[in-house]
A and B are shown apart, each in its own frame.
Chain A
Amino acid sequence: MSDTQAQTVAFVRETEIPPSPPPIREAGAVKWVRENLFSGWFNTIMTLVALYIILRIVIGVFPWFFNGVWDAGSIRECRDILEGATGACFAVLVDRWDHLLFGFNYPQDAYWRPTLAFVLLILAAVPALFYMYVPSKFLIGTALYPFLAYWLLWGGTLWLPIAVLAAIILTGVVFRLVESMTVSTRTIVAGIVGLVAGVGLAYLLYLGAKELWFISTSIGTGGAFAGLMSLVFKAFSIFTYVFFIPMGIFVGYAIYQSASDGGLVTLVTSLLAIALMMLYAVGPVSGVLNGIIPIELAAVESRQMGGFMLCMMLGAVCVSLSIPLGIVLALGRQSSMPLIKGVCIVFIEFVRGVPLITLLFVANVMLAYFFPPGSGLDLFLRVVIMITMFSAAYIAEVIRGGLAALPKGQYEAADSLGLNYAQATRLIILPQALKISIPGIVNVAVGLFKDTTLVSVISMFDIVGMIRGPIQQSTDWISIYWEPYLFAATCFFIVCYSISQYSQWLERQLQTDHH
């Protein structure tokens, strides 16, 4: 056979034909264009229409950018330079660059402080965001960052944040100490703490009742609405008057009773310890230390801060506070203890049912009535509390979604391993629930970051407040419109897009389902 073959067949190929390149129509850019843009008569028309629109936009917008004036002292000078041609007046960004970033009131010789704080923020965020690649000891730096950043931004003495840090560490020590006590020692501690907490609570409630009564009497200026409000406040006041002593006794007794298992008494002791230290020790101690070794920066008040810095500060603080708070609320809402569950539900539903702007007005305006002028909480802190509450309620619901998505078997498996509630939650439930919730949490975080611009309605000068107030309403830049807003949009886009990209990367990292 083979002989026959060898004679009848003139040529036998001994090597494989080298692959020839695909036809030009089926390769590279041409193929992509053919498949994606001109794959049929309908798509061809759509492509041509889209190209035309894009071209028109570019032709329209390009001169505006290209002719942009970068060096002028006012919008009128800009117009003189342009001489009637279309062109942007980017000079406003140059002229008010510092204001857009730091607000108009931040001391100019201190601009390095927020800049340094921002650089450190990135450095401090890396160990927390890329924890799988960074040794965990770097997390200590992340934990110390808030104290350093506070000092850099607000100034004053460095000993104050150090004293607060020391108070927190001491509280941890107290927590450990009470937890490791024998039951008989703890009973004595529980007795004392129960007494103090009970009396303290009763006193606070008594003060609250008095305040409510004061409000109810000062509202009554006539009219149905005022009368009704007055009655409501009176009812609250009477209710509190009746119950302040029983509530004190009840709480004190509950703490005393918890001595054997130790949960409540440990918590309350720690809380009391930190409250007492914050109230009475931190100020004097840092004052004395500063007297011995003064390390001080010029103090800057919250009201002096503004620009994109304020947005970043509010965004960073509120996101990092509202995620833990949201987790606690979500777990609380799933709790089997009716009191905790009830409190969490009321909090979440109330806060979600109120617009953020209302909460901000409450923070700015209403709280001013309850504190004497000049005292009370710092405006920045009030705003942080309100935004954190708001986004925590949303994050709690997102995480609850994650918790609900876990199969019941996961909970039962955790129970069958003999893990207690805290262990099961920490090791089994939360890692899975949080992974599911990442897109939702990031969604809330991005939304929160953009919501920080709402503070402009309570006359804090964040970047939008700066633009709408002092820049657009200045004699030099009167009614300038597109340029500063474009700048603000760019700033927000950079940050929000980075957050979004990070979250997608994190999702891929945590992917365990191997599809």
Chain B
Amino acid sequence: MKNTLFLGALACTALTAGVAGAATLDEVKARGTLNCGVTTGVPGFAEPDANGVWQGFDVAVCRAVAAAVLSDPNAVEFVPTTGKTRFTALASGEIDMLARNTTWTFSRDVDLKFEFTGVNYYDGQGFMAPKDLGVTSAKELDGATVCIQTGTTTELNLADFFRANGISYEPVPIETGAEAVQQYNAGACDVYTTDASALAAQRANFEDPAAHVIMPEIISKEPLGPLVRHGDNEWADIVRWTLNALITAEELGVTSANLNELAAGSDNPEINRLLGTEGDLGGMLGLDADWAERAIGVAGNYGEIFEKNIGESTPIGLARGLNAQWTDGGLLYSPPFR
């Protein structure tokens, strides 16, 4: 609690200083690069490749915003942040936006004075156990030792879940995902719990993935999305609608393959509004008419980005699940471009 209060005080200090400054959009344009906070590495979501170029699902959001604002998807200064430094980096103005597997929660939104601009991945906490353990449901885990990453929401969710079900557990606190996997495979704990996406990604890379089961229970909601500071709504709008443009593009069937063709004009008025051939949505954002076309042009629409970075064809191998379009039974539902 004290910690939250302190962070809040810090955020507030920065806010007072930040409001006095110029609007973020003008700053970014003057600087010529977008400072985007990412993780120090989460497989498929943000990782530098062998050439040192940042790749991944979260990284794609940064690049799309940079393309929309600066017309150059590479005009991004990626600032790696840890779980401990991410909020201060954003609050102090060191970064313009944070796209870093951050769960949208009440206190982060309200108390820390940030503005979540949408959800780019719906995650939830799950459990994984070796098949030999013979457990099929998380509710049968009474007395189990559980490997868990410290300092995350997963720790609190775990305690809540076990208390609600009246069963006991013994936590094995661990710092990073790699260590957790190491401990889990060495038998230091019976069960490993973290976000289901990470579980699936880790399991896909085990020596024998079939020897481990992921429990059906998802014990928490972890909507992950990009966020910006309170107090600059124009900037928040740009980030929000860039993400929405990627999602809407998939819904409307705009892909990197047919983007150029559709940008010349089409029969669908919503596609025309999205790509700037009808109306003046870009102008309302303070950008030009082609902003969304450029954002989609970087790596395609939401579905294409998903498939390329974390989809079933990749070693991460995540199914769309909750992250399918609402028309396909998922939760992705962008407000209309109108």
Q: Hey, which bits of chain A sit against chain B, CB under 8 A?
A: 74-76, 79, 84, 95-96, 99, 104-106, 108, 215, 218-219, 221, 223, 225-226, 229, 303, 361, 364-365, 368-369, 372-374, 457-459, 461, 465, 468-476, 478-481
Contact = CB atoms under 8 A, between A and B. Distances in A.
Contact of B85 (A459, A475, A476): A459
B89 interface: yes
B80 A459 contact: yes
B333 to A, nearest CB: 29
Contacts of A478: 43, 178, 201-202, 205, 315
B174 interface: no
Contacts of A95: 50
A76 B315 contact: yes
Given A108-B52, A215-B13, A373-B94, 20 more contacts: A76-B315, A96-B50, A219-B12, A226-B9, A368-B94, A457-B84, A461-B40, A468-B41, A468-B178, A469-B41, A471-B41, A473-B176, A474-B43, A475-B44, A475-B47, A478-B202, A478-B205, A479-B178, A479-B182, A479-B205
A240 to B, nearest CB: 19
Interface in B40-78: 40-44, 47-52
Interface of B: 2, 5-6, 8-10, 12-14, 16-17, 21, 31, 39-44, 47-52, 79-82, 84-85, 88-89, 92-94, 176-179, 181-182, 201-202, 205, 207, 314-316
A218 B19 CA distance: 13
A473 B177 contact: yes
A472 B176 contact: yes
A468 to B, nearest CB: 6
26 contacts: A106-B52, A108-B51, A218-B17, A219-B9, A221-B9, A223-B5, A226-B9, A303-B79, A369-B13, A372-B21, A373-B92, A373-B93, A459-B79, A468-B40, A469-B41, A472-B178, A473-B43, A473-B177, A475-B44, A476-B50, A478-B43, A478-B205, A478-B315, A479-B202, A481-B178, A481-B182
A79 B13 contact: no
A474 B47 contact: yes
B50 A479 contact: no
A393 to B, nearest CB: 25
B132 to A, nearest CB: 18
Contacts of A465: 40
Given A473-B41, A479-B182, A369 B315 contact: no
Contacts of B205: 75-76, 478-479
Contacts of B182: 479, 481
A153 B160 CA distance: 51
B92 to A, nearest CB: 4
B92 A365 contact: yes
A459 B43 contact: no
A362 to B, nearest CB: 11
Contacts of A468: 40-41, 176, 178
Contact of B177 (A369, A471, A479): A479
Contact of B16 (A218, A223, A364, A459): A218
Contacts of B42: 473
Nearest to B46: A473
Nearest to B2: A225
B37 to A, nearest CB: 9
A229 B10 CA distance: 12
Nearest to A480: B178
Contacts of A461: 40, 80
Contacts of A457: 82, 84
A470 B48 contact: yes
Contacts of A480: 178
Given A79-B207, A95-B50, A469-B80, A475 B41 contact: no
A110 to B, nearest CB: 12
A475 B316 contact: yes
A21 to B, nearest CB: 55
A368 B80 contact: no
Contacts of B13: 215, 218-219, 369
B232 to A, nearest CB: 13
Contacts of B201: 478
Contacts of B178: 468, 472-473, 478-481
B20 to A, nearest CB: 10
